Each structure stands twice: as structure tokens, then as C-alpha cells.
Amino acid sequence: MTTAPQGVDYSKTLNLPQTGFPMRANLPAREPDWVQRWLHEQVYETVLAKRRNAGAPTYIVHLGPPYANGNFHLGHTLAYGLKDIIVRHKFLSGYASPYAPGWDCHGLPIEWKIEQELIAGGQTKRDLSVTELRDRCRAYARKWMDIQQTEWQRLGVLADWQRPYRTMDKANEAGIVHCLGQLVQRGMVYNKLRSTLWAPVEETALAEAEIEYDENHQSTAVYVALELVDRPNEYLVIWTTTPWTLPANRAVAVHKDTAYFKVQRDNKIYWVAMGAYSENKDLSEKIGLRAINKPADNKHLRGEDLIGLTYRHPLYADRTGQVLHGDHVTTDSGTGLVHIAPAHGAEDFVLGQAQGLELACPVNGSGRYEAYVDEGLPAGLQLAGRSVLDKQVIKDICAALGDNLLHQSSYTHKYPISWRSKAPVIFRTTHQWFIDLDETPVPETKKSIRESALDLIHARDGNRGVQWQPSSGENRIGAMIAGRPDWCISRQRAWGVPITIMVEKATNQPVKDAAVWVHIEALVEAEGIDSWDSRLGGREAELFPSGWLAAQGKTIEDFTYVRDILDVWFDSGTTWHHVVKADSGKGERFERTDGKRVADVYEEGSDQHRGWFHSSLLTSVALTGDAPYESV
């Protein structure tokens, strides 16, 4: 074995390149320095100015604003990393790519958090004025925006950090009001009594985008017999998974073309659909309803022969209901006879409204029965003030049904829940504000909002359409737009942009005069959202332009003033206008002059097909006849 001469340092005999780079990257310490240097040297502004000075074409990546609560997580890292890649790629490809960071600030999650803090301190939101509650919400949002901006910048994102947008900025709140005003002036906003998804925990109406589903929700399913008034010993059999709606029963629906026949138990005769009996073993095995003869031999009637029959209510001795035809009635589940509670179910409401049934809801905003519900109930059953979601309430109702309860069991099924509280939601008949998707035509397309949106989604009828990446997004959002109801935009909360609508009592129509809306928009831009509520209760005249009331021969008493706020998806769903669009007066940074749509690309997770992509498309189509984006 050969050994090196003692004292010789062979490392000094190697001819290695010399470099100023450290031997170890030490990225955790060095990356924050790089980010601060990029911010200090205004790298984004410098590159953007250089491209614009060279007359470069514009490429706009519009940001889906993150919600101002909680730290950034890996989902944010992915989404904003991808956007940054696009912006940098476009800069390097010779484009000017303006990119504005921003935040979604209003909405229930923040207000809910403040409520929990108040409760922990021995208060409730009712101990504060609306302004005080909003001030706390603003402070909460501002705290998290500061935290999130630091985390966002730490990702190394190139953006206009000197001028971020916030939906709670007065200018943006005014822009949101502007968009609402334009929709009202186009006749696309209406108020109506409707069966609406309602969150008892949050005490507000919800839109489809705010709903999730519990795939394994446990309900109590009941089969209930309803005695026919003029046919002693004969009963209709209904099935429901919401026994708490039985006090609101006003009718039973059958399908006029479905076959119904008689079965028996304990010398009593029951009517069920032939198809339901054949398919549903519960009716014969669990309940013990037996065919008098074989179904094929048993004399049966068509549903139209049952229509008009009168039955006794299963809980109220002095109340009756009638059998009606319902297009929605099937025999896939249940008995083919459907319990109708117009105050709750969406299809029930439509049928009840068409037939002139009682529509008033016996359940209040917190999901508790109104006091009058107890009038006429069996002795021992008291529901007033109790929650419809209380399991004991279900047990008490079932007990009060007596012999009318043929069978009850636990039923596992898919059930809607609030995506915020994760608590079950219910249907309640309430007055809400909606955007009409089907009746009022868009002036630019001469078609409804829904039809116009679908044309753009699928690039048909001469429209160049939107490019969807991946292509499956086209079918995903297309199905959602095609199947959704009108957009419920009203919320019964405080932290949000008010629905600045004044309704004329004589006509029951919103004020559409553009001068009024320009005036309100100016108030909001000067004072923010508190400018509306602060004038209700004595200063309503200030909501009208000077001299307008006198010129119309009106007083403030001739109008009612809406106190609801807008769905928060309307805030972010109109940022294409009050953040990006140049002619809004607030989007000058983007300088789009090439005739393209407002943004070149919207990029978010696929959940936004029912969220931001969705609300942005509907508002843009309604106000311009076109999509707000070239691609998604």
C-alpha cells in the first residue's frame, strides 16, 4: 500500500474552478432575502413597464380571490404557483401580463367567527349594532389579509403588491353595487316567495354553491296512513324521510297515469301504487300490507280516478287535504303517493302555489316551530319553539301519529348540509331576491341568461365559446348551469354588500331609474356599505338624488328598503368588472385594447365550476352577453 509523503496537502494541488456561490444553498435563509429584494427593486413593475413601453400585447391572468380567513395551505401554494408560472411565462414570451392580487372579504365565515368570539365573551351579535359587528368583521379580515399577503409573497409570486384589491374596499363595494344596479335596470332581479335552501344554524338562505352533501345522513323514514273522508276504513299511504314536515301537510300528490290498487292489513284497506308495491318489499314484509289478490288480478284505478278525494290530516283532527296530480310523482321509492308540504319542499311549493294551497312557513329562521303550530295538535304533543332537527321532536311526532304510523325505520341517504357549519339544511318558504335565468332576455343575445351561458360554454350558435382545460370542464359547468334554479342572491346577515334596492309600494317593483343607482353607487364609494343601513330609520331621503322624490311626486313612505345583503359569490363573481374591466373606471392597470374578453384565463381548482367560474359567467353574460374569460 502506497502512502502519501507526510505533510503534503494534495487538495492544494487540484486545479478547481473558483466561484462565489456558497458551498451550501441554505435556501431557508436565502429565499426570503430574494423575495424582499424583488419587492424592493420592484421587479414586477419594471418588467411590466418595459413590455408596455415596447408595445407588447396584453395577457391577463385574473385572480380568484382567496378568502380572508386562515393561513395559506398547500391548495393555495398549488393554485398561486401555477398562476405565477403563467404570468412569468407570458412575460418571457414577450407579453405584458398585469396581475393583481386580491381578497374576498365579506361573507358568513367571518361573521360566524366573530359571533363565536362574542359568545365566548358572554355576548351575542344582538348586543352590537350592525356597524359595530361589521367593524369587527373588517378587523378580522384585515388581520388575515396581512398574514396571507406575507405568506403569498413568500411563495415568490410576481404581482402588483402595491395595489391589491379587496372586496371590502369602498371602490370595490361600489363596483358590486353598480353591477347589481345594472341587473335591476335590465329587469333581471326579482323578489318572490319561494321554497329556499335554508341554514338553521347560520339563519340565512343559501345558494347551490354553498351546499355540500352528507352521503351517509341518517333520517327517520315513516309510512303514514291518511284516512279518506268519504270512504270509511280506506287509507292513502305516504312515505317521507322528513316527519317534521307533517304539520305542514296540505295535500297528497299522485300521478294521473300511474296505476293504484288496494292492499289490506287488519281489515283496513290501503291505496298504493302498483309499481311501488311490486318493487318495495317494505310494504309487504315490514309493514304487512298484503294484496287482496295478486297485483295483476286486483282491480286498480289510474291516478286520475283518485284526484279530488279528501283525507283527514294525520295530526290535526279539524284539518283535511285533497289528492292532486303531480308531474314529479314516481314509483321509484315510497308508495307512489307523495306527502305535499308547500312550506318546505321545492316541488311541493310549486304544486301548492299552482293549486292555491297555504304557503306560509310554520318554521322560523332558526329552524324552530312557530307558536301557532300547536293549535289543534293531539294532547301531549307540543312543538312550538322546538328545533325541527331535534331527534326527540321526530320521536314525539311519530308517537302522536298513533295507528296512522304504519312503520318507521332509520334511513341512510344523501342529504344537503351547509358547507360552512356542516349542519343539515332545510327547505323553507321565504321571500328572497333572485336573478332570473330563464325569462328575461339578455339584450345582446336576445336569449335568456341560461341559454346564453350554455351557448358560450359549448361554443355554439356562432359564438366562439370558452376554451376549457381539461375539456371535461365543459360538461361539468354545462350540466351545472343547465340544471340549476334561479340564483338566490339575498342573505339574512350583516357582513356583506347590502342589496341597495328600494321597492315602490304601489307597484311592488324595484326602482330602476339610473339616476338613483348612480347616486347610491356614489354614496357607497364615499362611505362604504354602512352608507345604506345608516340611512334606514329616518334618513331614507338621502338615498335618493336631490329633488328626485319631489319630481316624482313621492315621499320616502312610498317605498320599502331592503335589509338583506348580497350572496358573497356575487362579490367575487363581479370582479371581472370592478377589478379588471378597463371601462369600469377601476381597471386601468390592465389596459385591454385588443378586443379580447376581459381576461385571457381564469385558473382555479375544479370546485370553482360551481363557484367562481360559475358566478362570474352568469353575471358577465347577464350584463354583457359574453363570458368574462377566454379560457378556464
Break the chain down into helix, strand, coil percent, rounded to 5. Answer: 40, 20, 40
Between residues 559 and 590, which one has the greater pLDDT?
Answer: 559
586 falls in which pLDDT band (50, 70, 90)? low
Residue 297 predicted with pLDDT over 60: no
Domains and CATH numbers, the chain: 43-178+571-632 (3.40.50.620), 179-209+428-570 (3.40.50.620), 212-423 (3.90.740.10)
Beta-carbon contacts of residue 297 (< 8 Å; ≥ 6 apart): none
The pLDDT of residue 583 is above 70: no
Interval 230-288: pLDDT, tens: 888 889 999 899 999 999 999 999 988 888 888 888 888 888 887 777 767 777 777 77
What pLDDT band is residue 2 in, cutting at 50, 70 and 90? low
| Average pLDDT, integer, range 99-124 | 91
Query: Is residue 295 over pLDDT 60?
Result: no
Please tell me the predicted confidence (pLDDT) of residue 21: 76
* pLDDT at residue 1 in the model: 58
**pLDDT tier at 335, thresholds 50, 70, 90:** confident
**Residues linked to residue 340 through DSSP beta bridges, in sequence order:** 251
Q: Is the pLDDT of residue 102 over 90?
A: yes
Band (pLDDT 50/70/90 cuts) for residue 459 is: confident
pLDDT at residue number 584: 61
- 3-class DSSP state of 302: strand
Q: How far is the C-alpha of 396 from the C-alpha of 301, rounded, in Å?
A: 35
Per-residue model confidence as pLDDT tens digits over 340-380? 999 998 889 999 999 999 898 999 988 999 999 999 899 88
More confident residue, 463 or 451: 451
pLDDT beyond 80 at 463:
no
User: In the structure, what pLDDT confidence band is assigned to residue 328 with cuts at 50, 70 and 90?
Assistant: confident
**Cα(119)–Cα(103) distance, integer angstroms:** 27
The pLDDT assigned to 204 comes to 86
Q: Write the DSSP string, 95-113.
A: -B-----EEB--SHHHHHH
pLDDT in tens, 176-190: 999 999 999 999 999
Beta carbons within 8 Å of 336's beta carbon, 6+ residues apart: 254, 255, 258, 260, 272, 273, 274, 275, 276, 329, 330
Distance, first Cα to last Cα, the chain: 69
Say what the pTM is. 0.82
**The pLDDT value given to residue 294:** 59
pLDDT higher than threshold 90 for residue 62: yes
| Average pLDDT value for residue range 508-533 | 95
Cβ count within 10 A of residue 276? 22
Whether residue 200 has a cis bond before it, omega within 30° of 0: no
Question: What's the mean per-residue pLDDT of the chain?
Answer: 89
Q: Name the one residue in this structure whose C-alpha cell is 341587473.
A: 183
| Residue scoring higher pLDDT (315 or 273) | 315
- Cβ atoms 155, 80 nearer than 8 A: yes
Length of the chain: 632
Nearest residue to 628 via CA among 588, 594, 597, 585: 597
Q: Which residue has the higher pLDDT, 438 or 265?
A: 438
Q: Which of residues 4 and 501 earns the better pLDDT score? A: 501
- Scanning the structure block, which residue is given the C-alpha cell 341517504? 413
Which of 165-179, 214-228, 418-432 is most confident?
165-179
Q: Given this model, what pLDDT does residue 126 score?
A: 85
Q: What is the pLDDT of residue 226?
A: 93
What is the average pLDDT across 455-476?
A: 89
- Beta carbons within 10 angstroms of residue 285's beta carbon: 9
Under the banding of pLDDT at 50, 70 and 90, the label for residue 3 is: low
Q: Read off the pLDDT of residues 124-178 as tens digits, 9 standing for 90 and up.
A: 888 898 999 999 999 999 999 999 999 999 999 999 999 999 999 999 999 999 9
Sequential DSSP letters for 485-507: --EE-EES-SSS-B---EEETTT
Query: C-alpha angle with apex 412: 408 to 418, nearest 5 degrees?
Result: 115
User: Of 172-181, 206-215, 304-313, 440-449, which gets the smallest average pLDDT?
Assistant: 206-215
Name which residue leads in pLDDT, 284 or 440.
Answer: 440
Mean pLDDT within 84-98 = 95
The string of pLDDT tens digits covering residues 588-611 is 778 777 888 999 999 999 989 999
DSSP 301: E
Share of the chain above pLDDT 90, in %: 59
Beta bridge partners, 290, equal 264
